Amino acid sequence: MVEPAPEPVALDRAVLDDPSRPQAEREQDVDRKPIDVYEFFGVQPGQTVADVYNADGYNTHLLSRLVGDGGTVYSVFEFYSERELFDGALYKVDAVSQRLEDAGLANVKLAMRLAEVPSESVDVAVAIRNYHDVEWVFPEMKRADQLAEFFRIVKPGGIVGIVEVATPNQGWDSPTHRLNKQVVIDDFTGAGFERVEESDLLAVAGDDYTVDGFPERHKTDRYVLKFRKPGN
């Protein structure tokens, strides 16, 4: 007899008060709503989760606390592992490594590339406000290759969650550093994922879509998309 899947549990919001987190990040929480986003994507204690395009480790840190000792977080750098990009401004490996040591985040595994994450090992992969960098900002990175890696690492039935800054303009709007959500939908469904649902929890009414979406992106109108890899 197959045991029924356990009911999801609410995530522990006390992790937001973790004193080892930078104060600047804690001040962003009210706009970023990370716990709500993770719950929407189905993150649960004990899971294996991938934080893809991890930047300074905001999501890696929180996800590590949330999945707990029984879980694992793959913190994936991709372009954040490149020393030469923008005179080293994007290189985050040393800083994130130090952060893990200082905060005691022992359940985090660093991966320079998605290719280093084991196949069908991940319950939930998240890419939060960085998918737009693939191919548009870094033309040598091909979306098809990255999408194939997302599909490979996620378990059958697993989830990929995407957050991006919204624009009504079609495609990639370079002047405002915003990506139309239909591009993301077409990319992931074209790569074999099922579109599960969308959330408006990060929607911002009255956002000026003519303004650059890069500075303070956590205050802009953002869409939240949930995709599923077919299978049990």
At residue 5 the predicted structure's pLDDT band, cuts being 50, 70 and 90, is low
Mean pLDDT score, 138-144? 95
Mean pLDDT score, 122-127? 98
Rounded Cα gap, residues 129 and 51, in angstroms:
11
pLDDT for position 96? 97
Instruction: For the beta carbon of residue 201, count every other beta carbon within 10 angstroms.
Output: 13
pLDDT for position 2? 44
Answer for the pair 76, 53: CB distance below 8 angstroms, yes or no: yes
Answer for the pair 91, 81: CB distance below 8 angstroms, yes or no: yes
pLDDT tens column, 8-62: 889 999 999 999 999 999 999 999 999 999 999 999 999 999 999 999 999 999 9
Is the Cα dihedral 136, 138, 144, 149 positive or negative? negative
Task: Tell me the pTM.
Answer: 0.95
Rounded Cα gap, residues 165 and 222, in angstroms:
4
Domains of the chain: 29-50+65-71+115-228 (3.40.50.150)
* Residue 76 β-bridge partners: 52, 111
Strand 154-165 to strand 222-228: parallel, antiparallel, or no bridges (unpaired)? antiparallel
pLDDT greater than 90 at residue 174: yes
